[in-house]
Amino acid sequence: MAGFELIRRFFGGDHGERRAAPRSGVPKGVHVMVVDDSATIRAVLGKMLAQDGHVVLKAGDGESAIAMARKELPDLIFLDIVMPGMNGFAVLRALRRESRTHDIPIVMISGNLQATEQFYVQRFGADDFMKKPFGRGEVFARIQHLTQTGRLVVREREPGESLPAPSEHSEAEHAAIPDIAMPDPQDMLPPTDGQP
């Protein structure tokens, strides 16, 4: 029975109490950009971050991510490695080359084992890595680590600049978003063009 209680607490009804608990050392209102070609990953990670009081920006591809980062100057970016078109490594290199986006902390994410290995072999200046699937604890451990090491600094913004984007989901859809982000099946396949 004790095992069942642990599982129920982990997956079951105690989520509200766990989410209401403050996370020490993590500032509120961080502007976080989530870049992933998977709408599911954007929704799950966006929900996790919004529930903790952060402003979430979302991009579905590398080109729009670069444009959004230049315009919005987020405090933190979660960036998928394996995306069609411009992959995450190319986005990372582009953001690191520009003076306005050079210092934004970037956490690379991927469910592709080859991309994971390549990340550690060819580290292009990312601040951290998070493997799919991931849960709330891992997301906030990354944010807390970046805060404690001084990499995550919340930029002061004008009053109207800190407003979260309107929700793209109804309340029912938002409630149905899971609390664990699983990789999409195409992320599990090895790259076909030699690129991560």
- Three-class DSSP category at 113: helix
Reduced to 3 DSSP states, what percent helix, strand and coil does the chain have, rounded to the nearest 5? 45, 15, 40
Beta strand ranges found along 128-186 (DSSP E): 128-131, 134-135, 180-181
Listed in sequence order, the residues at least 6 apart from 161 whose beta carbon sits closer than 8 Å to its beta carbon are none
> Mind listing the pLDDT tens digit for each residue in 31-89?
999 999 999 999 999 999 998 899 999 999 999 999 999 999 999 999 999 899 999 98
Q: Which domains does the chain have, with CATH numbers?
A: 28-153 (3.40.50.2300)
Could you report how far apart the first and last alpha carbons of the chain are, in Å? 45
DSSP symbol at 128: E
Q: Please give the Cα distance from 186 to 70 (Å, whole number).
A: 29
Tokens at 46, concatenated:
């966006």
Share of the chain above pLDDT 90, in %: 47
Arithmetic mean of pLDDT, 17-22: 38
* CB of 178 closer than 8 Å to CB of 135: no
pLDDT bracket for residue 27 (50, 70, 90): confident
How far CA 194 is from CA of 111, 125, 166, in Å, comes to: 17, 21, 38
Q: Please give the Cα distance from 55 to 165 (Å, whole number).
A: 7
* CB of 66 closer than 8 Å to CB of 102: no
> Mind listing the pLDDT tens digit for each residue in 111-147?
887 766 666 645 678 898 888 889 999 999 999 999 9
Arithmetic mean of pLDDT, 145-157: 89
Q: Please give the Cα distance from 144 to 142 (Å, whole number).
A: 5
pLDDT given for residue 192 in this prediction: 45
What does pTM read for this prediction? Answer: 0.72
pLDDT given for residue 196 in this prediction: 47
Asked whether the predicted pLDDT for residue 180 surpasses 60, the reply is no
Task: Name the packing angle between helices 88-97 and 62-72 (round to 10°).
Answer: 30
pLDDT given for residue 44 in this prediction: 93
